[in-house]
Amino acid sequence: MKILFQSPDLIAINKPAGILVHGAPHMKTDEPTVVRWVLENFPSVKIVGDDPVHRPGIVHRLDKETSGVLLIALTQTYFEYLKNLFQKHEIKKTYYAICAGIPKNKKGIIDIAIGIKSGTTKRTVFSGKMAKSAITEYEVEKEWNEGGEKRCLMRVIPHTGRTHQIRVHLNYIGCPVIGDELYGGTKNKKRAPRHMLHCFSMEFCDMNKKTLHITAPLPDDLKTYLPQ
């Protein structure tokens, strides 16, 4: 885990793809997680959070295959402060995604609620249970052909924080994140060894009203899928 920013109250790390943020029922007992790393390196965090036994210091999460900026509170005061910022959508999150296909509109806002598909944990925009408002802003930055298939690099800013929001919304406009089997299907899974989604930056004001802009450069495995 590379530390991108550190203060007495907060660390921001560049989470690698393939690492869970915290434990899950299906995981192996010796599987590495962000939480295990945090407890080893910052043991005082064990009492921080809403559920410090399982998710000490964890204010938000990234999917296992998603890489990039992850914020971890080191004190309860800062945990509550960050939690409030996330709830008020006062943290600007910018992602990059490599997608199959090119959207009809090269930039825009996807404003469609996301719910849970009946009988699964999969998210859907089609009349799912417990549907909640979800808004995603996107812009195509590059487009190219790869083996006869159209692809693009999108800059994505989620204005809400629903589970799998970016993956669901980009698939909805016909541009699934390559490597994403859950929302793009088996053929799409074969396009990359993991879904090519990266949290590039987070920007917010700290408790002293100073603007923090924390960035994590595009990882090498994602850059190999970009045109040379």
Active site residue 9: no
- Classify the phi-psi angles of 170: left when phi > 0, otherwise alpha if psi is within -120 to 50, otherwise beta: alpha
Q: From the candidates 9, 63, 111, 220, which is the catalytic residue? A: 63
Which tokens is 21 given?
């943020």
Give the list of residues 6+ apart from residue 59 with CB closer than 8 angstroms, or none: 49, 71, 72, 73, 79, 82, 83, 86
Which residues form the catalytic set? 63
